[in-house]
Amino acid sequence: MNNTITNRPAMTGAAAVFFLTLATAAALLAGELRETAVVRAVKRVNPAVVNISSEYEITEQINPFFSRGLDPFFDSFFRDFFEPRYRRRYHGTSLGSGVIVDGKRGYILTNEHVIAKSSRIRVVLQNESAFQAELVGAAPDFDLAVLKIDSNDPLPDIQMGDSDDIMIGETVIAIGNPFGFSHTVTTGVVSALHRAVQAQGRVYRDFIQTDASINPGNSGGPLLNINGDLIGINTAIYSKAQGIGFAIPINKAKRVMEDLIKYGEVHAAWIGLVVQDLDPSLTRYFRVPRGQGVLVSAVMRASPAQEAGLQDGDIIIAVGKNRIATAQEYYTQIRGVTAGDVVLLVTWENGRTHTYDVTCKDFPESLAEAWAYTCLGVKVADMTPRLRLAYGIDATPGVVVTALRPGCYLERVGLRAGDVIRKMNDVNITGVKSFKKAVVKFRLRNPAVLVVQRGPRQYYISVKLGA
């Protein structure tokens, strides 16, 4: 067999460059066709998404003589006579996500339950840089927390979006660290808006619902729109969810974050209502549905509730879609609102329901003394030589009770003019100014504990608040 070799002319340099350029262009074009809006959004945002691991201490009792739970009598005997000597302490770790919202100052937004009870918080960036984080503030009622890290190099951060502009059905992207798998991306659509979720003994309001997968570890990570703008903070608090994810709208999260950075806590929004449990006789008289309703005992002047048209004596049977039967349920429902939120209150009158849209505001500190008289039933004053002499006061510091509203709870339990309020919950009262700040801080916390001094003795009084 004869083998014939055909000599082909060599490709010229110009032709080689042409074909190489053509191949490169084709490859680039293929890449561009594959680089969807989701890919571009993830590329832009991923550097600002962080992995958060928090360490907490767990204390467990150890019975050195018996297996725990074998005999209740011996377990009880052991607890009474041997604790706290036999205790075992070990550390647990929880994993979550976060997003850098201010690269210049090092602020990170995440969920409160991610860092709850933590003694140490570690933050790892996409480039594997690790930092010890400081807790700036946490808001359990909103499941949000702000952390701070210090870096010598500029930190990447994220572009804030507008959660009031979200459309049901639009594509969303969730990024986080589910089950420890760093920077996991899932996509879905907005399934619904303004969802209320009851979890961990609290009611969380105004959530974004999505079908993007949000699992433990995703908590605290960003929910993005197709442009890569931050529209929500993912939260995995609803244990029964399957194929359902929830996120806190970023507009609400921003308001909470600003309070946490400025004050270290959230100043609860103001509605301006004082409610009480409904007496059974009134339930029958007003023909209120069984097991529902609270009585409005006071509407504060110039409050959002008064502006919406609510009056003393109204009976509120629901907050939004949630029926209420006790004053405690009412305060639980409104505890998670911020200034600017609109709360729907449903009242009952003559067998018919009426609805009121109440736009919440920041509580004005100038009204704190009026609120204290309406809700606590006390008027107070700074301690002066004249008041010391008039009431024979030795205590200092504190505020002097100068008057009590007739029939109020504090009067019924024996408080009287001349007593000195020295503390409200964990806030030391040094004068009227600190008293007003404590009132603003604790007006939705039930109950509040007052430390009162009369002569040389101090007393603790637990009193319900709310407005």
Enzyme catalytic residues: 113, 143, 219
Taking the CA atoms of 65, 69, 75 and 78 in sequence, report the sign of the dihedral they define. Answer: positive
What is the rounded distance in angstroms from the CA atom of residue 373 to the CA atom of residue 379?
Answer: 6
**134-139 and 120-124 beta bridge pairing:** unpaired
Q: Give the end-to-end CA distance of the chain in Å, rounded to a whole number.
A: 105
Nearest to 45 by CA among 190, 200, 234, 197: 234
Strand partners, 110: 145
- Annotate 254-318 with DSSP letters as a single string: HHHHHHHHHHSS---EE--EEEEEPPHHHHHHTTPPTT--EEEEEE-TT-HHHHHT--TT-EEEE
3-state secondary structure of 47: helix
Strand partners, 185: 175
CB atoms within 10 A of CB 21: 10
3-state secondary structure of 391: helix
User: How distant, in Å, are the alpha carbons of 98, 122, 128, 183, 219 from that of 174?
Assistant: 12, 22, 20, 10, 10
Q: Quote the DSSP letter at residue 64.
A: S
Q: Quote the DSSP letter at residue 221.
A: -
Residue reference for tokens 């703008």: 229
**Type of residue numbered 347:** T
Q: Is the peptide bond before 364 cis (omega within 30 degrees of 0)?
A: no
Dihedral over alpha carbons 270, 273, 276, 277 (to 10 degrees) = -80
Q: Tell the burial category of 105 from Cβ atoms under 10 Å away from its Cβ (0-12, 13-18, 19+).
A: middle
**Type of residue numbered 282:** L
SS3 readout for 340-377: CCEEEEEEEECCEEEEEEEECEECCHHHHHHHHHHHHC
Which segments within 68-129 are labelled E, that is strand?
87-102, 107-110, 120-124
